[in-house]
Amino acid sequence: MGTARGRILRRGALMAFAASSVMMLPPASAAVSAQRAGDGAVAGASDRLATRAVPPGYALWAWGYNGGYLGDGTMTNRHTPTRIGGSDSWARVSAGGFQTCATRSGGSLWCWGDNSYGQLGDGTLTDRHVPTRVGGSTSWLKVSSGREHVCATRTSGALWCWGDNAYGQLGDGTKVERHVPTRVGTSTGWADVSAGDYHTCAARKSGAIRCWGDNEDGKLGDGTTVDRLTPTLVGESTSWRGVSAGGTHTCARRTSGALWCWGYNGQGQVGDGTTAFRRKNPTRIGGSTSWTGVSAGSAHTCATRSSGALWCWGDNWKGALGDGTTVDRRSPTRAGSSTSWSRVAAGYAQTCATRVSGALWCWGFNFGGQIGDGSTTDRHSPVRVGTSTRWVKVSVGGGFTMALRR
């Protein structure tokens, strides 16, 4: 994975970390929420994505490394799913590098965890170990937590970002850190947003994609390696349907079902069959037009097909690809033989996915219990998380996992 100008360690440094006796949160994460067709994906011709009603509420559960990111009021690691509060009104959740944010069915927004850069949006730099409300608005619709910044859309189609802004990832034309939600331009045409480590990508209701922030590895997809402080168009296409910003790469689907990725490719996370250093423009992944969802992790990618099959590629040093090995893959590799996968979330060296039955499975790095199987043993193949068949959504962060359950 890329260096992001010294702020992201390469895999070798992370290996040294993993072997140490002092457990700390890994320094890099992508934390991308689960996506499937029609949910967390962006329909190019669909205004309803930015204006539809907030979904019904669910219970919130968390597990894994806990620097206050789980929201249970402690800093105790949890090796199995732990319920957060008693509310059944949670609508969406996004686990970031060092914080979590979630919306409720009433349209309110809540964040918790580390607040070193103001990423909790409450106007302070005070860490919060329980969900803390962000302002008084009840019109929040979608939220995405990056490494140390957060972006969210409102029902009006407006986009807001806050937190770390060292590379312009907030999109407000500056590099000034923001401790409260700050509007990105004046447009009300935003349909969805995905926050990566130090960059952000978002889709418009027109079907166009724009990206901004750190561009050292070409992950903004504009053909350059120049950082952008405001939303910058990715090509000319208006047929994009889903976008996912990872650690140092980005992937997106088109309405045709084709999949495209770009950015850093040192471990094959772009998926074009090579380890070419970087791809500065969207690169098509194979010839399939059956991709239904994609999630870009810190240095790996996973995606679902219309058949219900799950495919992963890229960095596999902790088994995040789910193919039973720790061998990096340069092109999509099948994760098991099941054809019942519905959603997938790739995070920091870990992946989780739900099946159509409502069962939840996780695999990969497990130093803090983020797999949720009661252990801290890395898993190289999907492992079922408990016995519940009521899981609805899952989001993987930098060493922890958040999920919603009916």
Q: What is the pLDDT of residue 97?
A: 98
pLDDT of residue 335: 97
pLDDT in tens, 173-230: 999 999 999 999 999 999 999 999 999 999 999 999 999 999 999 999 999 999 999 9
On whether the CB atoms of residues 34 and 353 are closer than 8 A, the answer is yes
pLDDT average, residue stretch 277-289: 97
Share of the chain above pLDDT 90, in %: 86
Whether the predicted pLDDT of 286 surpasses 60: yes
CATH of domain 30-405: 2.130.10.30
% the chain with pLDDT above 70 = 86
Asked whether the predicted pLDDT for residue 290 surpasses 80, the reply is yes
At residue 160 the predicted structure's pLDDT band, cuts being 50, 70 and 90, is very high
What's the pLDDT at 43? 28
Confidence of residue 30 (pLDDT cuts 50, 70, 90): very low
Q: For 41-50, 92-101, 154-163, which range has the lowest pLDDT when averaged over its residues?
A: 41-50
